[in-house]
Amino acid sequence: MEKKEIRNLMMKNLKNISVTDRDEKSKLIIEKLLSTEQMKSADLIATTMPMEHEINTKYLITTCWKMNKSVVVPKCNHETRKMHFYKINSFDDLKKGYFGIQEPIEEKCEEIKKELIDLIIVPGVAYTKSGKRLGYGGGYYDRYLEDYTNQLLALAYDIQIIDELPTEKHDIKMPLILTESRIIKAID
Q: Which residues of 148-164 are buried (b: 16+ CB within 10 A; e: fewer)?
A: beebbbbbbbeebbbee
- Which CATH code for domain 3-185? 3.40.50.10420
| Residue 99: its H or E element | none
3-state secondary structure of 185: strand
For residue 186, the model assigns a pLDDT of 86
User: Quick one: which of 67, 73, 74, 25 has its CA closest to 178?
Assistant: 25
Mean pLDDT to the nearest integer, 87-94:
97
For residue 129, the model assigns a pLDDT of 95
Cβ neighbours of residue 16 under 8 Å, at least 6 residues apart?
none
Using pLDDT thresholds of 50, 70 and 90, give the confidence band for residue 188: low
For residue 169, the model assigns a pLDDT of 81
The predicted-structure confidence for 35-88, as pLDDT tens digits, reads as follows: 999 999 999 999 999 998 999 999 999 999 999 999 999 999 888 889 999 999
- Rounded CA gap, 9 and 78, in Å? 25
For residue 161, the model assigns a pLDDT of 97
For residue 138, the model assigns a pLDDT of 87
pTM: 0.95
Contact between 72 and 88 (Cβ < 8 Å): yes
User: Quick one: which of 115, 111, 187 has its CA closest to 150?
Assistant: 115
Angle at the Cα of 136 (from 80 to 86), degrees rounded to 5? 55
Using pLDDT thresholds of 50, 70 and 90, give the confidence band for residue 167: confident
Cβ neighbours of residue 1 under 8 Å, at least 6 residues apart?
9, 166
The predicted-structure confidence for 6-26, as pLDDT tens digits, reads as follows: 999 999 999 999 999 999 999
For residue 100, the model assigns a pLDDT of 83
For residue 187, the model assigns a pLDDT of 65
The predicted-structure confidence for 97-145, as pLDDT tens digits, reads as follows: 877 889 999 999 999 999 999 999 999 999 999 999 999 988 899 999 9
Q: What are the domain boundaries of the chain? A: 3-185
